[in-house]
Structure 1
Amino acid sequence: NTVINGLHKSGRYERAKEVFSEMLKSGLSPDSTTYRSLLMEACKKGDAVEVEKIFGDMRSRDVVPDLVCFSSIMSLFARSGNLDKALLYFNSVKEAGLIPDNVIYTILINGYCRKGMISEAMSLRNEMLRQGCAMDVVTYNTILHGLCKRKMLGEADKLFREMTERGLFPDSFTLTILIDGHCKLGNLQNAMELFKKMKEKRIKLDVVTYN
């Protein structure tokens, strides 16, 4: 495991696969840590075929993937727009007896938002909360971005209020999303109020915000 993980971190994926094959030939049984290194590197390369091959081998040996494995695979498919596959692996998390965490939920929510599937994103967000999984700033920003892209500023403002009421501190990306959304709809007063709020709370402003 140490050797394979080291090769993975140094980007020597082909050599890591060779060591893995040698490991199997010697009669040693790989565990989730072994497979995780291979999966993460295959995901990094965007090789969906190799990812599914590794995952299939993993399951055939009754090795239960951990949440890091699932999040890496889901992220690969969600980024490429293959939400059916991402959802398939999301359901596999539960089938494996694991509890989806914030990262797992946010990956799929982001995939839905990028495709403009706001209803599905909000439905998953509601499921997330029902399961007792708290949203963080990244999750809120993901949905806010999706809402603003669809020009759903009323819903975005409502979600922003919920975020602050839950005690989460917005970052520069949060407010830049909302400012941009209001500007594009001509709501300059709302945009300036948000800009003023950023300065009052000493949130670091970047070039994107000023633009």
Structure 2
Amino acid sequence: MAVATWTAFAADNSYEFSQDPDVMPQGLKLEPAVRFLDMRGVGLGTPLVDLYTESVTQGRRDEVRELLSVIVPDLRSIEMLVNHRREPVLHLVFSDHSVPVTLMGDGVRSMLRLSLELASRRGGIVLIEEPEVHQHPKALQQSAKVLLAGVRRGLQVVLATHSLELIDALMLESTQDDLHRLSTYRLNLTDGVLENSRLDGEQMAFARGQIEDDLR
């Protein structure tokens, strides 16, 4: 049975949801578990302290720290401290000091947000716009690990990217099982007609590894 639905996202990731009442009974209507993440910094986004809390609740704090420690040397832990106004503030903790996340560079904050966003999701769909923004090559490799870890937990991750480096990192970090879960879609607008082509994970690996095709 086909059911028409629509979802509209606000800057804070809240959305409205509608289904035709004549098609589906009111008691069966469910809000879809959809999350939109714009890594370009557009919109307000969920506060990092909230994402951190949910990640810890689900037992993934160490996972996030290990991923971030590759691009933040000497990182000991990620902790929530209280400032002079008694407000919670997320800190990166080192051996002899800590630094509020808000004072870190764009690349570190971007990597941390991506890690916490996916670590805090229990399931559903995550839509990500340009996860490569603000990130250097080492961070892109860690981002690939974050994305694949989410997919392995059962998340459906849909991302829009202009980065061949990110695509290559995904190929490098993917197992054979991961390749079965991956696909890429290329869009082309010709005379007002939007066309698309699809490659599955193994075709992507061949295209990048053998003929160095541009998959963007």
TM more than 0.5: no
User: What TM-score do the two structures reach when normalised by structure 2?
Assistant: 0.33
User: What TM-score do the two structures reach when normalised by structure 1?
Assistant: 0.33
Q: Whose relative contact order is higher, 1 or 2, with alpha carbons under 8 Å and at least 6 apart?
A: 2
Bigger radius of gyration among the two: 1
